[in-house]
């Protein structure tokens, strides 16, 4: 293999580590830098979510680097949403009517460590921890760094730079401040923040609630969710407004008020959190933001993952989108015959609409998840879709399935088709168009036919 | 009058100068800083537009500080849009059917100088030119400055800071980088830029074309506009894409191509620009951006004018919106009994929807202005609206009139009412609902009645 270019990748989180691994496998010389210490040796940094939902798009990226088997042992399958009412009733809503379609709860640290361990087996990779990037020369492909153990900065020269340094990206900030090119960017925060809590394992050493589900306590303006960990605990996340309403992050200031709030709003979950009052005040409250920008490339530099498109977590697609970026970047390399300048432009241009689509969907889903009223038509729709998926597994995919399990479709296509189907089924149920005398196959054909028309005509939906 | 707070206003452009004047008149101690040199002594900085359209909302601000008479002598009334076809035909479309409703072409420098001259008559104001703000402590109300004539920085302490430092605001950048509060912000560029050119006065010492109009050469994907100056020249602005199409800013690189482009696309205007080839290469090409952010206030600091809501120039409302900010801020002071903390919050909260509304409208109008096809229904609508305004001057205001001449209405109200009317009249004309046997009064009543319903029901419009 001829000598390939030297790629500096800034940020050794999930996206940067996967990208570094793939570039190393392609034979590039890779320098991967990270401002934090090695997470395999350190305690988890505060404010980053502890477990994540891994699904098909993410798995596609892990498969590309040959880690599909290794990752399996880290995964806990979740087969559906388990909804918890105020009265403590539970209801499981399966993610798919097909066999074998589920999402996985996975430890962020465990997965990142797997990628880093694998990376270290490549001689053409250098990993530098505790090395903070302070400045990037986008055109010259060099960057300034300040190592934690030194008072002086130095310059690292590469042939190309890829910024995978997350939502607070220094590389993106450099693009924002660079004059002479039109860099559009936005950062939008929800008025809600989040805080992580824990259901520890029971005294008997078991999971405190059903292991194989993603748990949701929808309460209108706020909600709690829980995902299982391999140590039989659950990581619980509270989504709550910073201000307004009876309870909010700004007025939950004493142990007494926190206790009152949880007892009133989440009585069953409260029973499962012996360390609630300690955790509530020790763990940070973090904001929920959407970051968009364009173009993602300038000079010899490219942005990838959260650095270019941070999204809110309500469709469980943040990590999956970032891993899929690496797969899409691989396609861009192929398309441009490994000319990196061309590949950067191609990736930026082609990936942007999909990043926008999943960002919008994740925002929409916030409102759906936390209100999640047991609207009858909505329940009827979900039942019909599960029947479609079960009986006609190759012919019907719900919006959730299209986005989550159909990694062969771009986000933008999955979402436009899914939205059309949602609209059409709800309208047909409300107007009683899907008569009881019709067979399931007849219903399916009608839904598919009209959905296709709705999608192609770009009709405006009323939700 | 009791001793009032010390206000540091950063940026002595139009908005900052008007604000400083008003605050001085209210008895506050004012320090006004500006990174540029005194524009009354220096040549105009490159890349800033030379003349602007001043209308009712801007005049309201000037009236508040008692400059309504002085400003009149700087104004050149423009009574309508004069459209220039490729064949050199012209057509005047009046701005209003009412008497006395017109907009004014005014020199940016002349107006800013008027404000600064007036400011200097107040003993409680200090103006510092060539003093660059490098950093702001938003909570402590102090800022770092680097004067042009010194190598060292110093700190200026005030009670409150207001950033009126324009689209590239250093104060806003400080809000962006501040941790611990949720600051949403976006910067969106059009793919078009602009460049200023000139029609000098004729050899006989006259205006090269009709003085009392805003001239437009709409050419689909690009356009030229011209506004009159008091020295009998016109300032001409070319709006053109950076790339794509036959001609763009990136490929107009030689005098020969520039000549070819203007001869082909703007043959009549070309004849009026003897210095075109020199000006084209000497004058900068500037981007067209929309900046939004929220909240506008944090700690002891507030943003105002372009710093918080820079908009594109296609509705002629940029300066008018900034001047109206000062009027609205005055209302916020009143409402909060001159408690500046409360006034900052009140202004940020109440003014934001209006800033968003005019930003959106200005973007929409870009497409309308440059395409401006002589669609028959559109012409029929305009004719009908001018008749309404002429015959029923107190009962009907077109969208343009509502936005431009009804300074008593907030932008958001003017725009929602105007959009409803546009929609209703076009639909009624297309469907022949306004029958010829109806009297003008009957037509007006029907349009108003249905528009009100459309506006209140928040129907989705199809344009």
- The predicted pLDDT at position B314 comes to 95
Residue B32: strand, helix, or coil? strand
Between the CA of residue B274 and those of A136, B82, B370, what are the distances in Å?
44, 22, 24
Chain A residues closer than 8 Å to B241 by CB = none
Say if CB B219 and CB B372 are below 8 A apart. no
**Cβ density class B359-394: b for 16+ within 10 Å, e for less:** bbbbbbbbeebbebeeeeebeebbebbbebbeebee
Chain B residues closer than 8 Å to A191 by CB = 182
pLDDT for B138-188, tens place per residue? 999 999 999 999 999 999 999 999 999 999 999 999 998 886 678 999 999
Say if CB B327 and CB B305 are below 8 A apart. no
Cα separation, A184 vs A197, in Å, equals 36
pLDDT for B404-419, tens place per residue? 999 999 999 999 999 9
Cα separation, B95 vs A3, in Å, equals 67
Compute φ and ψ for A76, nearest 5 degrees: -115, 115
Strands B184-199, A184-199: pairing is antiparallel
Tokens of B377: 């229904």
Interface test with B, best of A188, A345, A458 (most B CBs within 10 A): A188
Interchain proximity B184–A187, CB inside 8 Å: yes
Interface test with A, best of B175, B183, B184 (most A CBs within 10 A): B184
Chain A residues closer than 8 Å to B242 by CB = 182
Between A373 and B127, residue with greater pLDDT: B127
Question: Which residues lie closer than 8 Å to B461 by C-beta, 6 or more apart?
Answer: B419, B420, B422, B423
Interchain proximity B187–A188, CB inside 8 Å: no
Residue A71 has pLDDT above 50, yes or no: yes
Taking alpha carbons only, the member of A327, A291, A315, A305 closest to residue A402 is A315
- The predicted pLDDT at position A461 comes to 41
Interchain proximity B176–A187, CB inside 8 Å: yes
Domains and CATH numbers, chain A: 6-52+107-186+288-365 (3.50.50.60), 375-457 (no CATH)
**Helices in A316-410 by DSSP H: which ranges?**
318-335, 340-371, 376-391, 399-405
Strands A214-218, A80-84: pairing is parallel
Taking alpha carbons only, the member of B332, B331, B325 closest to residue B310 is B325
Residue A217 has pLDDT above 80, yes or no: yes
CA nearest to A169 within chain B: B177
Residue in A176, A182, A189 closest to B184 by CB: A189
**Cβ density class B404-437: b for 16+ within 10 Å, e for less:** bbbbebbbbbbbbbbbbbbbbbbebbeeeebeee
Whole-angstrom distance between the N-terminal and C-terminal Cα of chain A? 54
Residue A41 has pLDDT above 60, yes or no: yes
Residue A441: strand, helix, or coil? helix
Consecutive 10-residue runs of chain B (463 residues): their mean pLDDT?
85 98 98 96 61 97 97 97 94 93 96 97 98 97 96 96 96 86 90 95 96 95 94 96 94 97 97 96 94 96 98 96 98 97 97 97 87 77 96 97 97 95 92 93 95 75 37
Cα separation, A130 vs A116, in Å, equals 15
Say if CB A70 and CB A164 are below 8 A apart. no
Question: Which residues lie closer than 8 Å to A260 by C-beta, 6 or more apart?
Answer: none
Q: How many residues does chain A have?
A: 463
Residue A462 has pLDDT above 50, yes or no: no
CA nearest to B284 within chain A: A180
User: What is the CA angle A169-A172-A178, rounded to 5?
Assistant: 145
- The predicted pLDDT at position A392 comes to 97
Compute φ and ψ for B48, nearest 5 degrees: -110, 140
Q: How far is CA B427 from the centre of its chain?
A: 30
pLDDT for A279-333, tens place per residue? 999 999 999 999 999 999 999 999 999 999 999 999 999 999 999 999 999 999 9
User: What is the CA angle A425-A426-A428, rounded to 5?
Assistant: 65
Cα separation, A149 vs A144, in Å, equals 15
Interchain proximity B185–A184, CB inside 8 Å: no
Give the Cβ contact number of residue B356 at 10 Å: 18
Tokens of A151: 């008072």
Residue B346, CB half-sphere, CA atoms under 13 Å: how many? 16
């Amino acid at each position: 293999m001829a000598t390939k270019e030297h790629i500096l990748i800034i940020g050794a989180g999930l996206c940067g580590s996967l990208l570094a691994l793939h570039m190393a496998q392609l034979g590039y010389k890779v320098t991967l830098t990270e401002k934090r210490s090695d997470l395999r040796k350190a305690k988890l940094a505060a404010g980053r979510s502890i477990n994540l939902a891994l699904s098909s798009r993410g798995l596609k990226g892990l498969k590309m680097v040959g880690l599909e088997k290794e990752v399996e042992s880290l995964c806990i399958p979740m087969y559906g949403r388990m909804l918890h009412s105020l009265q403590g009733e539970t209801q499981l809503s399966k993610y798919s009517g097909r066999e074998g379609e589920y999402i996985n709860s996975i430890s962020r640290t465990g997965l990142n460590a797997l990628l880093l361990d694998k990376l270290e087996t490549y001689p053409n990779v250098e990993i530098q921890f505790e090395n903070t990037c302070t400045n990037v020369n986008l055109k010259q492909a060099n960057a300034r760094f300040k190592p934690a153990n030194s008072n002086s900065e130095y310059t690292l020269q590469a042939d190309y730079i890829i910024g995978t340094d997350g939502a607070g990206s220094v590389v993106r900030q450099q693009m924002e401040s660079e004059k002479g090119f039109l860099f559009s960017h936005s950062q939008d925060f929800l008025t809600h923040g989040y805080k992580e809590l824990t259901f520890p394992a029971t005294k008997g050493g078991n999971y405190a609630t059903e292991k194989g589900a993603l748990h949701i306590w929808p309460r209108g303006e706020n909600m709690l969710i829980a995902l299982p960990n391999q140590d039989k605990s659950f990581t619980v996340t509270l989504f709550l407004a910073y201000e307004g309403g009876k309870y909010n992050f700004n007025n939950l200031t004493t142990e007494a008020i926190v206790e009152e709030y949880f007892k009133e709003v989440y009585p069953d979950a409260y029973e499962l959190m012996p360390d609630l009052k300690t955790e509530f005040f020790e763990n940070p409250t973090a904001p929920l933001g959407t970051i968009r920008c364009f173009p993602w490339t300038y000079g010899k530099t490219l942005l990838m993952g959260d650095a270019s498109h941070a999204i809110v977590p309500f469709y469980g697609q943040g990590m999956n989108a970032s891993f899929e970026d690496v797969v899409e970047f691989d396609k861009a390399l192929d398309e441009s015959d490994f000319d990196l300048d061309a590949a950067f432009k191609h990736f930026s241009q082609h990936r942007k609409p999909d990043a926008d689509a999943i960002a919008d969907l994740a925002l929409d889903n916030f409102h759906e998840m936390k209100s999640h009223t047991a609207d009858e038509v909505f329940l009827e729709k979900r039942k019909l879709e599960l029947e479609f998926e079960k009986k006609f597994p190759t012919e019907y995919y719900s919006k959730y399935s299209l986005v989550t399990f159909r990694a062969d479709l771009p986000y933008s296509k999955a979402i436009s088709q899914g939205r059309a189907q949602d609209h059409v089924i709800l309208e047909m149920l409300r107007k009683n168009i899907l008569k009881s005398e019709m067979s399931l196959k007849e219903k399916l054909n009608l839904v598919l036919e009209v959905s296709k028309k709705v999608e192609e005509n770009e009709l405006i939906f009323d939700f």
